[in-house]
Amino acid sequence: MSTSTVEDPDAIAEEPLSEEEYRNRLRELPPSAKLVAKVLEIDSPLSQGQLTEESLLPDRTVRYALNRLEEVGLVGSRYSFRDARKQVYFLKH
């Protein structure tokens, strides 16, 4: 039996993306994801509801945009310190 441990991939600290890599990943995404990223660039962390209010996009569109941004590693999330029932989102770059 091996005594080696498997690290949690979420626990590994990621290096920040270069501006060029950030822009390249963002370039391939739909306009809604670009808008959500811009809102997070100006003010973060924000909840999904706050992103909906700030971006003027429908809730479903914001959810889709966040999923796409998470898939390409541009957005991270954590539980809110103010309300542990909510998650807040932030840019990783």
CATH code, domain with 29: 1.10.10.10
- DSSP one-letter code for 28: T
Residue 2 is assigned to a structural domain of this protein: no
Predicted TM-score (pTM) of the model is: 0.79
User: Is 39 within 8 Å of 55 (Cβ atoms)?
Assistant: yes
Structural domain of 34: 17-91
pLDDT tens, residue by residue, 1-28:
444 443 433 433 467 778 899 899 999 9
- Number of structural domains in the chain: 1
Indicate the average pLDDT of the chain.
85
Per-residue confidence band for 83, with pLDDT thresholds at 50, 70 and 90: confident
Going by DSSP bridges, is the β-strand pair 87-91/75-79 parallel, antiparallel, or unpaired?
antiparallel
Residue 43 is assigned to a structural domain of this protein: yes
Average pLDDT over residues 26-55: 95
Residue 63 is assigned to a structural domain of this protein: yes
